[in-house]
Amino acid sequence: MNLSFFKYPMTMEENRTLKVTISCIAVLEFSIIFSSIKYNISNVVHGILLSVLLNIIFISSIFFIRLYELYICFSADYILYVIEEGDTLLNLSYRFLPECNPWLTIDFIKKKNLLKRDVLCGDKILIPTRK
């Protein structure tokens, strides 16, 4: 199950974090609903508001993480790199800008270098790196 937001696929770590967060929020919401039914709590509105607040925090955190990744890519310095045997854009993105989603970094590399094909040994490309 790939729970991808925005344009770029998520890494395995992002996918796992997202699934755990959704599970925790779901468990909390169910516990609020069941305890309000079991104990006939009249303050169900407080539980619903808490649930809505948690969902807003969760969604905004995903948005701000992606926004931070875009900031890193846009503010990165670029170095000239000569492609060596065994290099792929994926391993280069992990090596030079590990803070970002590698697919986002690959997209930046392709756009910066106007790449329409795979990179070949000896190609010179600009790669984003941290300042």
Superfamily name with CATH number, domain 76-129 = LysM domain (3.10.350.10)
pLDDT at 1: 40
- Characterize 76-93 residue by residue with b for buried, 16 or more Cβ atoms within 10 angstroms of its Cβ, and e for exposed: beeeebebeeebebeebb
Q: Residue 2 — very low, low, confident or very high, per pLDDT cuts 50/70/90?
A: very low
pTM above 0.95, yes or no: no
Extended strands (E) in 9-131: 77-82, 124-129
Query: Which two three-digit tokens encode residue 10?
Result: 């998520």
The highest-confidence range among 21-35, 57-71, 89-103, by mean pLDDT, is: 89-103
**CA gap 78, 128 in Å, rounded:** 4
Q: Residue 52 — very low, low, confident or very high, per pLDDT cuts 50/70/90?
A: confident
- DSSP β-bridge partners for residue 114: none
Work out the average pLDDT over 2-27.
Answer: 69
pLDDT above 70 (res 83)? yes
Burial of 122 (C-beta count, 10 Å sphere; 0-12/13-18/19+)? exposed
CA dihedral 74, 102, 59, 65 (to 10 degrees): -40
Q: Which sign does the torsion angle of CA 18, 24, 53, 34 carry? A: positive
pLDDT at 7: 59
Tell me the domain boundaries of the chain: 12-72, 76-129
